Amino acid sequence: MSSLYDSAVAHRAADSRGLEPLPSIEAVLFDFSHTLFRLVDAETWLRRVAVAAGREAELDDDVRDKAIGQLVHAYVLPEVTAAQAGRDLAPERHRHGMYEWWRRVDFLKGIESVAYDVIRAADSWVPYSDAEAVLRSLCEQGVKVGIVSDFAWDLGVHLEYWGLDAWVDDVVISYQEGCEKPDPAMFLKACQNLDVDPRAAIMVGDNPTRDGGAAAVGMRTYILPGEPRNDDRGLEHVLGFLAWGL
């Protein structure tokens, strides 16, 4: 304890470092979903599910709107919410969470496995328009790039599909680690893999509860606004941090 009101931290630097300035940023860690990539919109996803299930003709505007309404309603049901807890700890838990949700939607009931295949498809996750330029710039500046994600499958398939894998040095995914953010182990594993001091890294994400946990391991943390976006994510601000010498 250094004061009665110490911040809650999971990693405390050596006492002598308290008098030293933060080191320059050597690594940037990004969240994946809603930070670097977004899932295609619900209408597109439903249409792809309908095509994959051979039920495209059934999905008129009324059926589509009803399905989206039922998705919204079902997601907040207590039993569905309960099924989402820890869903990114293991693939089968994520699949269970989705099936519990989707089986309450008339159009999806009985074709949950098809819907799941579609959500896992390489092109179902789309990078924000500024992601590639920012990742490329970081690499060209010699800054290490990592992804720390709560996810239930290898998100490398999405990086490779969009040609972004070349700009990412390391990926830490919850289902492979057996823990989810904000568990300090997620952030520390990425720093260890990249051989960088957490004080010389910054975490960029959209979820203050999960991604914000990086602050407790000594990392600077940048939380993006939670607003839904379909194009630019505002990631260029990260380059600004570097330009300012942070």
Rounded to an integer, what is the distance from CA 167 to the centroid of its chain?
17
**How far apart are CB 164 and Mg ion at their closest, in Å?**
16
List the interface residues with Mg ion, window 18-47 (CB under 5 A): 31, 33-34
The reply on whether position 88 binds Mg ion by CB under 5 A is no
CA distance 227 to 222: 15
For Cα atoms 19, 24, 27, give the angle at the middle one, nearest 5 degrees.
125
The reply on whether position 150 binds Mg ion by CB under 5 A is no
Q: Which is nearer to Mg ion, 30 or 107 (CB)?
A: 30
CB 148 within 8 A of CB 193: no
**How far apart are CB 224 and Mg ion at their closest, in Å?**
9
CB 22 within 8 A of CB 220: yes
**How far apart are CB 36 and Mg ion at their closest, in Å?**
9
In the complex, residue closest to Mg ion by CB: 34
CB 155 within 8 A of CB 173: yes
CA distance 179 to 194: 19
List the interface residues with Mg ion, window 154-173 (CB under 5 A): none
Q: Which is nearer to Mg ion, 59 or 205 (CB)?
A: 205
From residue 178 to residue 217, what is the string marking binding to Mg ion with x (rule CB under 5 A)?
Answer: ----------------------------xx----------
Q: Which is nearer to Mg ion, 20 or 75 (CB)?
A: 75
Q: Which is nearer to Mg ion, 34 or 199 (CB)?
A: 34
CB-side neighbour CA atoms (13 Å) of 87: 15
What tokens were used for 76?
Answer: 């907040």
DSSP structure class, residue 14: -
Number of residues that bind Mg ion (CB under 5 A): 5
Residues in contact with Mg ion by CB under 5 A are 31, 33-34, 206-207
